[in-house]
Amino acid sequence: MKNRFLHGSEKLVDPMTVGAVHFFQPLFAMLPLSLQRRMLEGASSKTPYMGFVVEPYAMFLFYRIADHERAQALLPDGFKLARSRVFEDGSEEHYAIVSLFRVHASTFWGSRAELYLIAENQETGLLSWVIADYLSDTVSYDRANGLRGPSAPGAVITTSADGRVVVDLSDTRGERAVAFDAKLANAALRPLDARLWVEGNLSVAYGPKLSPDHAGTFALTFTPDEMTEALDIPLDDLRLERMTWHDDMLEDAPTCVACFPFAQHLLSDSPGSGSGYASTDELEKAVASVDFDSIPKFSTPPVRKGLVVSTVMTAALVGVLAIALATRAR
């Protein structure tokens, strides 16, 4: 079962398609957001799942929330800040999480940083990971910005020969930045809290900054054993150089650092579709029933269609301007 899911999720990622999406993005981004949404969400009916593989050494820095009012304002309606624990025997806290990882997926490939708030979905009672903000050195999509280019060009998320994870990234203005290195030699694998890591990934949402109209939650489909344990990195082995990402909302330093030394293989719901698992049992049944042979890979026709439309719109605009200038010249 595990290898079947591992192979299937990896094979859904086609590097040639990813390259085409990267190539077309600047022109596709010229389209109105409403048209981008319709085209991408229409494609979801044909491709409900996207392969999403988090590469080894994904890092998670857990910060206690210092300003609860400000954090609550970053949640969509119907969500309330909730306590959670990182490891099975840990204490419960109100956490904000800074996650930094390399990923290859059906539509993009590169480095990504996400800032989550842990909340409870008041409608379902599920613990939820809410994406309040993110940075990336590659293309990305959200309802507020559409298909956009890099927000953190030149990002570094890598490992060193002396056994450290090295991270250094910032947005183009240098206002949102994270830089640190973490030594792994003294880290030990510890059991993770299942409610946070398994249940929480069944109900993922975007905050109002990224989805002003709150398009609902989506789920990740994965084998729970990839969320069973992670490295607990001693805080003394974390050398934090810079953290200016919503830092006014957080305590000065993380209270816990977790790292996955192996790849995590997931299926992510495509934009506009939602699996809506209500429990771990439903997740496991879904994993067992996934037929990778029948899942179509994401393809670029919707993006190519967007290219044609944007080209026509650009040509029309140039034509109108040319006529206006010629008329004025007379």
* pLDDT tens-place string over residues 235-264: 999 999 999 999 999 999 999 999 999 999
Q: Domain of residue 124: give its range.
A: 2-329
pLDDT of residue 210: 94
The SS3 assignment for 266 reads strand
Contacts of 155-160 spanning 24+ positions with Cβ under 8 A: 155/110, 155/111, 155/113, 156/111, 157/59, 157/100, 157/101, 157/102, 157/111, 157/113, 158/102, 159/57
The tens digit of pLDDT for each residue in 121-172 reads 999 999 999 999 999 999 998 989 988 999 999 999 999 999 999 999 999 9
pLDDT of residue 44: 64
pLDDT of residue 28: 81
Q: pLDDT confidence of 35, banded at 50, 70, 90?
A: confident
- 76-86: average pLDDT: 97
Distance CA(61)–CA(291), nearest Å, equals 35
Query: What share of the chain in percent tops pLDDT 70?
Result: 86
Record the tokens describing residue 47, joined without a space: 């491709």
- 51-62: average pLDDT: 97
C-alpha gyration radius of the chain? 21
Phi and psi angles of residue 45, each rounded to the nearest 5 degrees, phi first? -65, -25
Beta-ladder partners of 58: 260
State the total domains in the chain. Answer: 1
pLDDT of residue 295: 84
Q: Do 205 and 260 meet the contact criterion of CB atoms below 8 Å apart?
A: no
